C-alpha cells in the first residue's frame, strides 16, 4: 500500500523491438496493489502469463495468510503453547529463512512481532497512546527464539500461548520472487512484478534498455529524487509516511521494534536493493527498526545488498557501493 506510491515505474523510451512489447496489469492481491508487467508478442500471450503469476500469488497468500483461519500459518498460531504443527516444506523453509534474518538483524526483524499488532492500530481506531505497561506486556510474547523448528518432522511450534507469527514484512517480497520465478520458467524473457513497491525485475525493456525505477522523495510524494536502473534484481521501498498514527503532533509508524514494542523512529523511508525481493522486503523493515547507523553498518556487511535511507530531517544516506544521482 505504502510502496505503490513510493516507487514509480518508468518506461524509459518507446518500444522499438518488433513484436515484443511490455504489457501491464494492475490488480489487488494479498490486500495490496500489484502491478505485473510482462514482455510478450501480443496481449493474448501476455494475459496468459499474467494469469499464471496471479494464481501463484493467490496460492502463496493462502499459505501465509493470518486472516484465513484455515491457512497453515493460522494453524500454527492457534496451536501456540499447545502442540507442534506439521507444515509444507515451502512454509517451513520460509519460516527458517525468516529466523535467519532475525539472527542477522539481532531481532529487529521478527515474524513473531504479530502478537503486538493488537495495541497499535493504523486504521484510525486508536484513541490514545498505549501506556508503558501495556507496551511492555505487548512484547512479552514476541521472540523468534521461541519458534521451535523440527526439520525431520517438518513441524513448527510456538512455545508460548498467545504467540503469533505473521509475514507482513516479508510475504509480498516472497510472492514477488515466486511469481518472477514462475514466469521465467514459462519462458517470459523480461518483466516486472511490483507488489506494492516490492519490485522484482528481470531482462530488459524491448528496446534493450534496462528497466528503471524512480524512488519517490518521501517528503514530497510527487517528486522522485532518484532514477535507478535495475536489470535483474529486486528493489523494495518501505516508508512510514502513509501508515502511522498521530498523538500530540508526534508520528508513530507502523513498523514496530519487536524488542521494545515502540514504533521505530528517525527514518522515513528505506529502499533496499538485493538479488531477491524477499530479503529486500525483510531488510527494508529491519533497517527502519535498527536505525540509520546500525542499519547502514549491517547492510554494508552483506554482499550484493545496498540501501538508501531518508531520515526524518530529509537527509539521504546510502550504503557504500551505491551512488544515486538526485533528480
The stretch among 51-59, 180-188, 252-260, 296-304 that binds ligand ADP (CB under 6 A) is 252-260
Among 238, 253, 269, 319, contact with ligand ADP (rule: CB under 6 A)? 238
Q: Which is nearer to ligand ADP, 108 or 158 (CB)?
A: 108
Cα–Cα distance list, 208 to 17, 41, 211 (Å): 8, 15, 9
256 binds, among ligand ADP, Mg ion, none (CB under 5 to 8 A by kind): ligand ADP
Instruction: Mark 102-121 with x for binding to ligand ADP (rule: CB under 6 A) and - for no binding.
Output: ------xxxx-x--------
307 contact choice in Mg ion, ligand ADP, none (CB below 5 to 8 Å, kind-dependent)? none
The answer to whether 177 contacts ligand ADP (rule: CB under 6 A) is no
In the bound state with ligand ADP, the residue whose beta carbon lies nearer, of 53 and 284, is 284
**For the chain, how big is the Rg over CA atoms in Å?**
20
**How far apart (Å, rounded) are the C-alpha atoms in residues 314 and 206?**
36
Number of residues this chain uses to bind ligand ADP (CB under 6 A) = 22
For residues 223 and 221, give the distance between their C-alpha atoms in angstroms, rounded to a whole number.
5
Segment near ligand ADP (CB under 6 A); pick from 21-29, 35-43, 84-92, 250-258: 250-258
Binding test (CB under 5 A) with Mg ion, winner from 281, 287, 289, 310: 281
In the chain, the largest separation of any two C-alpha atoms, in whole Å, equals 65
User: Which of 109, 105, 89 lies closest to 149, judged by CA?
Assistant: 89
Count CB atoms within 10 A of the CB of residue 55.
12
For ligand ADP, the binding residues in 9-28 under the rule CB under 6 A are none
> 237 - beta bridge partners?
271
CA distance 311 to 232: 28
Residues 57, 63, 283, 284: which binds ligand ADP (CB under 6 A)? 284
DSSP bridge partners of 27: 34
Residue from 30, 228, 245, 256 in contact with ligand ADP (CB under 6 A): 256
Which is nearer to ligand ADP, 2 or 224 (by Cβ)? 2
Locate 105 and state its grid cell. Answer: 538483524
Helix (H) or strand (E) holding 25: strand 21-29
User: Quick check: 101 binds Mg ion (CB under 5 A)?
Assistant: no
Q: Are 273 and 324 in contact (CB under 8 A)?
A: no
Q: How many residues bind Mg ion (CB under 5 A)?
A: 4
2 binds ligand ADP (CB under 6 A): yes
Q: Does residue 285 interact with Mg ion by CB under 5 A?
A: yes
Q: At what angle do helices 171-185 and 277-290 cross, to 10 degrees?
A: 160
Residue 287 binds ligand ADP, judged by CB under 6 A: no
CA distance 194 to 184: 15
Where is 184: in which H helix or E strand?
helix 171-185
Binding residues for ligand ADP (CB under 6 A): 1-3, 108-111, 113, 166, 168-169, 172, 238, 243, 254-256, 258, 281, 284-285, 289
Interface residues with Mg ion (CB under 5 A) are 169, 281, 284-285
Amino acid at each position: 500500500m505504502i510502496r505503490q506510491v513510493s516507487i514509480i515505474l518508468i518506461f524509459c523510451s518507446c518500444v522499438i523491438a518488433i513484436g515484443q512489447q511490455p504489457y501491464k496489469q494492475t490488480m489487488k492481491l494479498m490486500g495490496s496493489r500489484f502491478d505485473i508487467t510482462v514482455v510478450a508478442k501480443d496481449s493474448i500471450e501476455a494475459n496468459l502469463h499474467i494469469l499464471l503469476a496471479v494464481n501463484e500469488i493467490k496460492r502463496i497468500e493462502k499459505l501465509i495468510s493470518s486472516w484465513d483461519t484455515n491457512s497453515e500459518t493460522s494453524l500454527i498460531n492457534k496451536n501456540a503453547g499447545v502442540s507442534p504443527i506439521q507444515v509444507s516444506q515451502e512454509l517451513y523453509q520460509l519460516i527458517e529463512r525468516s529466523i535467519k534474518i532475525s539472527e542477522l538483524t539481532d531481532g529487529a526483524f521478527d515474524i513473531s512481532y504479530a502478537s503486538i499488532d493488537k495495541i497499535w492500530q493504523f486504521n484510525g481506531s486508536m484513541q490514545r497512546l498505549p501506556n508503558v505497561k501495556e507496551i511492555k506486556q505487548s512484547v512479552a510474547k514476541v521472540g523468534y527464539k521461541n519458534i521451535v523448528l523440527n526439520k525431520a518432522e517438518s513441524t513448527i511450534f510456538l512455545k508460548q500461548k498467545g504467540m503469533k507469527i505473521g509475514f507482513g514484512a516479508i510475504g509480498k517480497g516472497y510472492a514477488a520472487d515466486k511469481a518472477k520465478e514462475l514466469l521465467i520458467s514459462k519462458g517470459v524473457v523480461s518483466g516486472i512484478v511490483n507488489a506494492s513497491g516490492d519490485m522484482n525485475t528481470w531482462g530488459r525493456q524491448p528496446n534493450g534498455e534496462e528497466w528503471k525505477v524512480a524512488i519517490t522523495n518521501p517528503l514530497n510524494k510527487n517528486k522522485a529524487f532518484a532514477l535507478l536502473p535495475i536489470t535483474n534484481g529486486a528493489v523494495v521501498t518501505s516508508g512510514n509516511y502513509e501508515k502511522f498514527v498521530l498523538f500530540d503532533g508526534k508520528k508513530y509508524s507502523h513498523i514496530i521494534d519487536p524488542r521494545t514494542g515502540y514504533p521505530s523512529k528517525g527514518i522515513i523511508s528505506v529502499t533496499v536493493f538485493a538479488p531477491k525481493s524477499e530479503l529486500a522486503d525483510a531488510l527494508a523493515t529491519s533497517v527502519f527498526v535498527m536505525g540509520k547507523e546500525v542499519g547502514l553498518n549491517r547492510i554494508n556487511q552483506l554482499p550484493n545488498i545496498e540501501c538508501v535511507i531518508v531520515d526524518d530531517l530529509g537527509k539521504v544516506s546510502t550504503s557504500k557501493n551505491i551512488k544515486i544521482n538526485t533528480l
